[in-house]
């Protein structure tokens, strides 16, 4: 979107966000400074920046002056995310008068810390849409002493909180932890702690609010599909491109339990995180999230994107080499290609894959609660196609905590997936932190694969590269898994599922798999392999891009793809040998 697309006349230049100082003079007057406009949630904010400012420093200033936490900001210019914090404003071609879109990824969960009157501290996460009554119920569940909800009193800033009060309304600082103190009835106090708020309740046991997934309570069958809109006010069914595909019981149950929730009137809940439309689907009780639905027409830069991102002009998605409207296919592809240790799962198997991508399926779904800017009616034309992924109970994402405690094998299994699929969107927010087993071991669950298998490697980014675990060698088990991978088989599986892969996507999958296998064979760490796929700066090509260009240069007219890949293989060997010595 160009600057012409936004009405700016009412904004005086002097109002620009924090004129920065440059060599002792206000940068407003510096020749290098430019005036850009940030659109966010319907308003336009003028901002003076230097072309030599890094993206990180621009985000930092937005944080300082507007309070939006830096890691939750996504800046988009001309359909491209300014994802590299170390790059400069001018690297992205941003110049005077340009409009940048600021998307804020606000967490759906609020961290709540509960202190009991006996001094015990509990921590849990709760959805922003929950109310105080719900918190009281959770406390009652954990501590028999408070089973009578009337016994509990919650206070914030000296004021008693009504049961109907929403968590999201308690504290304006959107990401701050809410501190609660639990007491019986009236003796409760709360005080603000910097941006945080301290409330009072009385509870005893530690515990986390349960958003348990559907893993062990699925239903079966598709009786519900016999009646379609406009006969029905909601609808969901699998979108099978190849009718010969048999869905696993896990996938059938995911759809079935989502249907039950819609039938009971539990509307989808739009998550405020993410740059596209993503909806939490609930079960029949309305208290559990069971799936996450991402419609293709609400992807970033698609026509019905709810975040107000401009519609794509050339069809390209937020990441180079991807197309708007293909995100759901890529989400499903990541699940299909995430084979379990023993190899590709049979169609009817719901076994979780090696890297733990949650079960994901393409569905058609109708509901008034999705984004319908043109209005809504119960007809087939309002049915949305998108990916439905099983909701995974989590304790936040890797963005919310330091990587120190992540088990090495958990980081490694994600590195395998990302390298294989040349993921162009592996930021820490796209890895959920879960716990399993009696000892609450940390398990990392990769989500959001809408930008995997791009047609070019330009935007590959892996946040885990900078975590210490990435510098450790792969274990024998992981090396065996990598050895078992077969790009040709993967291509055939995707085609069977109905994804008509472009030549470029097929090439990406082949080259990435080749790099992973060759690198692992040489004993390289995930870091050493992964770094070859990522550009050091936006302008400097990555090693993998250099390999591809060199092979392209060596090609003679009429040579086959096979010959091209042989060149790639030879050049890759040479480049890897340079790294290995
Ligand atoms: N399978 C899942 N289980 C639990 N929560 C999920 C799942 N998938 C997504 N979420 C939640 O929904 C939010 C939005 O989903 P997602 O990140 O996939 O959307 P997006 O629009 O593609 O985001 P981004 O801007 O990061 O590309 C996530 O941050 C996460 O909190």
Tell me the pLDDT tens digit for each residue of 308-349: 888 998 999 999 999 999 999 999 999 999 999 999 998 778
- Please provide the DSSP assignment of 338-382 as one string: ---TTSSPPTT--PPPTT-PPPEEEEEEE-TTS--TT---SSGGG
pLDDT at residue 167 in the model = 76
Residue 238 above 50 pLDDT?
yes
Q: Is 493 in the pocket of ligand 1 (CB under 6 A)?
A: no
273 lines ligand 1 (CB under 6 A): yes
Q: Is 382 in the pocket of ligand 1 (CB under 6 A)?
A: no
Q: Given a cut of 90, is residue 479 above it in pLDDT?
A: yes
CB 48 within 8 A of CB 20: yes
Q: What is the pLDDT of residues 275-289, one digit of tens each?
A: 899 999 999 999 899
Contacts 24+ apart (CB under 8 A), 465-469: 465/526, 465/527, 465/530, 465/531, 465/534, 467/403, 467/406, 467/411, 468/403, 468/404, 469/403, 469/406, 469/407, 469/408, 469/411, 469/412, 469/526
Q: Is the CB of 434 under 6 A from ligand 1?
A: no
Read off the pLDDT of each residue in 527-551 and give the average, rounded to a whole number. 96
CA of 562 to the centre of ligand 1 (A): 38
pLDDT exceeds 70 at position 10: no
CA of 289 to the centre of ligand 1 (A): 13
* Position 243 confidence tier, pLDDT thresholds 50, 70, 90: confident
CA of 89 to the centre of ligand 1 (A): 27
Residue range 404-451, pLDDT digits in tens: 999 999 999 999 999 999 999 999 999 999 998 888 899 999 999 999
353 lines ligand 1 (CB under 6 A): no
Q: Which residue minimizes the CA distance to atom 26 of ligand 1?
A: 274
pLDDT at 16: 53
Residue 469 has pLDDT above 80, yes or no: yes
User: pLDDT at residue 24 above 70?
Assistant: no
Q: Give the three-class secondary structure for 491.
A: helix
Question: What are the beta bridge partners of residue 131?
Answer: 166
User: If you measure from the C-alpha of residue 430 to the centroid of ligand 1, how many angstroms do you get, rounded to a whole number?
Assistant: 7
Say yes or no: CB of residue 138 within 6 Å of ligand 1.
Answer: no
Give me the pLDDT at residue 193, please. Answer: 36
Return the ligand 1 atom nearest residue 109 CA: 31
Q: Which of 274, 293, 459 to probe ligand 1 with, by most ligand atoms within 8 A of CB? A: 274
Question: 362: CA distance to ligand 1 center in Å?
Answer: 16
- In ligand 1, the atom with minimum distance to the C-alpha of 300 is 21
- Tell how far the Cα of 274 is from the centroid of ligand 1, in angstroms: 6
pLDDT of residue 298 exceeding 70: yes
Q: How far is CA 444 from the centre of its chain?
A: 13
The pLDDT score that the predictor gives to residue 387 is 97
375 pLDDT more than 60:
yes
Question: How far apart, in whole angstroms, are the C-alpha atoms of residue 92 and residue 542?
Answer: 17
Tokens of residue 151, six digits: 């016994």
**391 Cα nearest atom in ligand 1:** 3
On average, the pLDDT of the chain sits at 82
Cα 447-326-248 angle, rounded to 5 deg: 60
CA of residue 114 to ligand 1 center, whole Å: 27
> How far is the C-alpha of 443 from the C-alpha of 434, rounded, in Å?
5
Residue 291 confidence (pLDDT):
97
* pLDDT of residue 272 exceeding 90: no
The answer, yes or no, to whether any atom of ligand 1 lies below 6 A from the CB of 447, is yes
Distance 141 CA to ligand 1 centre (A): 29
- Mutate which of 447, 450, 461 for ligand 1? The one with the most ligand atoms within 8 Å of its CB, which is 447
Q: Which atom of ligand 1 is nearest to the CA of 105?
A: 25
The answer on pLDDT for 576 being more than 80 is yes
292 lines ligand 1 (CB under 6 A): yes
Give the mutation target among 76, 292, 295 for probing the ligand 1 site: most ligand atoms within 8 A of CB.
292
**Distance, CA 232 to ligand 1 centroid (Å)?**
28
Evaluate if residue 564 carries a pLDDT over 70: yes
Position 219 scores a pLDDT of: 34
pTM above 0.80, yes or no: no
- 392 Cβ inside 6 Å of ligand 1: yes
Q: 243-258: b or e for each residue (b if 16 or more CB lie within 10 Å)?
A: eeeebbebbbbbbbbb
Residue having the nearest C-alpha atom to atom 10 of ligand 1:
292
pLDDT digits (tens, 9 = 90+) for 85-120: 889 999 999 999 999 999 887 666 666 666 666 666
Q: Which pLDDT does position 113 carry in this prediction?
A: 64
Higher model confidence: residue 397 or residue 18?
397
Residue 475, pLDDT > 60, answer: yes
CB of 334 within 6 A of ligand 1: the answer is no
Name which of 55-64, 247-256, 407-416 the model is least confident about.
55-64
The pick from 278, 393, 449 for probing ligand 1's pocket by mutation, whose C-beta has the most ligand atoms within 8 angstroms, reads 278
The region of weakest confidence among 37-51, 252-266, 521-535, 552-566 is 37-51
ipTM: 0.97
**Residue 275 Cβ contacting ligand 1 at under 6 Å:** yes
Higher pLDDT, 8 or 574: 574
Which residue among 273, 281, 358, 451 has the greatest number of ligand 1 atoms within 8 angstroms of its CB, and so is best to mutate? Answer: 273
Ligand 1 binding pocket includes 525 (Cβ within 6 Å):
no
Residue 363 has pLDDT above 90, yes or no: yes
Share of the chain above pLDDT 70, in %: 78
Would you say residue 172 has pLDDT above 80? no
pLDDT at 9: 31
Q: Is the pLDDT of residue 484 over 90?
A: yes
How confident is the model at residue 398, as a pLDDT? 94
| Tens digit of each residue's pLDDT (9 = 90 or more) over 178-237 | 666 666 653 323 333 333 333 322 332 322 222 222 223 323 444 445 556 656 788 899
* CA 210/CA 124 separation, integer angstroms: 10
């Amino acid at each position: 979107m160009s600057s012409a697309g936004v009405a700016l006349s009412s904004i005086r230049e002097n109002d620009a966000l924090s004129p920065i100082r440059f060599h002792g003079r206000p940068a407003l007057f510096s020749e290098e400074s430019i005036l850009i406009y940030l659109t966010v949630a319907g308003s336009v904010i003028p901002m003076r920046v230097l072309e030599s400012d890094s993206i990180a420093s621009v985000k930092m200033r937005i944080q300082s002056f507007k309070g939006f936490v830096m890691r939750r900001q996504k800046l988009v210019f001309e359909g491209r995310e300014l994802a590299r914090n170390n790059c400069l404003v001018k690297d992205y071609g941003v110049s005077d008068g340009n409009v940048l879109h600021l998307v804020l990824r606000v967490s759906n969960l609020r961290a709540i810390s509960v202190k009991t009157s006996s001094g015990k501290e509990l921590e849990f996460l709760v959805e922003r849409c929950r109310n105080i009554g719900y918190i009281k119920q959770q406390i009652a569940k954990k501590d028999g002493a408070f089973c009578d909800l009337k016994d509990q009193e919650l206070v914030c800033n000296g004021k008693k909180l009504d049961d109907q009060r929403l968590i999201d309304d308690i504290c304006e600082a959107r990401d701050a932890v809410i501190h609660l103190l639990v007491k019986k009835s009236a003796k409760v106090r709360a005080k603000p702690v910097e941006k945080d708020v301290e409330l009072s309740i009385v509870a005893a046991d530690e515990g986390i609010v349960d958003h348990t997934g559907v893993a062990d309570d699925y239903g079966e069958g598709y009786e519900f599909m016999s009646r379609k809109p406009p006969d029905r006010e909601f609808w969901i069914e699998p979108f099978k491109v190849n009718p010969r595909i048999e869905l696993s019981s896990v996938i059938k149950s995911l759809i079935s339990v989502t249907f039950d929730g819609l039938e009971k009137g539990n509307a989808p809940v739009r998550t405020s995180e993410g740059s596209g439309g993503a909806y939490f689907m609930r079960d029949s009780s309305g208290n559990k999230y069971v799936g996450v639905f991402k419609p293709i027409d609400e992807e970033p830069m698609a026509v019905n994107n709810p975040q107000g991102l401009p519609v794509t002009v050339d069809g390209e998605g937020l990441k180079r080499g991807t197309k708007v409207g293909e995100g759901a296919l890529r989400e499903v592809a990541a699940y299909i290609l995430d084979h379990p240790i023993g190899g590709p799962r049979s169609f009817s198997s719901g076994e979780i894959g090696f890297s733990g991508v949650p079960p994901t399926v393409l569905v058609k779904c109708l509901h008034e609660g999705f984004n319908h800017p043109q209005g809504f009616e119960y007809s087939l034309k309002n049915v949305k196609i998108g990916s439905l992924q099983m909701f995974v109970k989590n304790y936040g994402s890797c963005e919310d905590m330091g990587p120190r405690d992540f088990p090495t094998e958990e980081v490694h299994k994600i590195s395998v997936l990302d390298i294989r699929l040349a993921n162009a969107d592996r930021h820490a927010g796209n890895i959920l932190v879960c716990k399993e087993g009696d000892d609450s071991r940390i398990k990392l669950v990769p989500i959001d694969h809408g930008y995997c298998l791009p047609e070019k490697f330009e935007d590959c980014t892996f946040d885990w590269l900078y975590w210490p675990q990435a510098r450790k060698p792969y274990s024998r088990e992981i090396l065996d898994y990598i050895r078992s991978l077969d790009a040709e088989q993967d291509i055939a599986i995707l085609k069977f599922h109905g994804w008509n892969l472009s030549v470029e996507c097929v090439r990406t999958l082949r080259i990435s798999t080749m790099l992973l296998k060759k690198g692992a064979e040489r004993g390289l760490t995930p870091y050493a392999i992964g770094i070859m796929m990522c550009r050091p700066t936006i302008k400097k090509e990555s090693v993998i891009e250099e390999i591809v260009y060199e092979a392209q240069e060596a090609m003679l007219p009429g040579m086959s793809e096979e010959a091209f890949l042989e060149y790639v293989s030879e050049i890759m060997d040479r480049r890897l040998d340079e790294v290995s010595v």
